[in-house]
Amino acid sequence: MNSNDTGRYFEEQAGEYLSKQGLTLIATNYTAPLLGEIDIIAKDDKTLVFVEVKARKRSQFGSSIETITPSKQRKIIRTAEYFLQQNNQYHHLDCRFDVIGFDIFEKTVEIHWIQHAFLVA
């Protein structure tokens, strides 16, 4: 599997995981021109959830979740703002930014779901 296939695989796994947790998927791989991409957009009751998915083999340089830099967070926030501008039907919902990380070990995969992973400044 190349890195694009691996990314898509774990994004699909994250979508299935969120669905099992009761969230409703709205969009996957949402792209805003010149701004960025959001891996998953979902609805959790009265909250719109923007989800970044990361997968990483076990590394001494940190977990999958630790790879989401402030710069990446700003891109996600700008893309979320664009999504809301284009989709008025979601304006009444609260918003939050989550991260789902997959840490890959030799024979196991750990999943970590961090709700409210970062805030809009």
Distance of CA 16 to the CA centre of its chain: 13
Q: Provide the residue ranges of all domains of the chain, joining segments of one domain with +.
A: 3-118
Residue 104 — φ and ψ, nearest 5°?
Answer: -100, 125
Torsion over CA: 56, 58, 61, 66 (sign): positive
Average pLDDT, the chain: 88
Q: What is the CATH number of domain 3-118?
A: 3.40.1350.10
Q: How far apart are the first and last CA of the chain?
A: 37
pLDDT of residue 19: 97
Tens digit of each residue's pLDDT (9 = 90 or more) over 21-65: 999 999 999 999 889 999 999 999 999 999 999 887 766 555 656
Higher pLDDT pick, 21 / 121: 21
pLDDT of residue 109: 85
Task: Kindly indicate the confidence band of residue 119, based on its pLDDT and cuts at 50, 70 and 90.
Answer: confident
pLDDT of residue 3: 66
Task: Kindly indicate the confidence band of residue 5, based on its pLDDT and cuts at 50, 70 and 90.
Answer: confident
| 41 three-class SS | strand
Calculate what percentage of the chain has a pLDDT beyond 90: 63
Calculate what percentage of the chain has a pLDDT beyond 70: 88
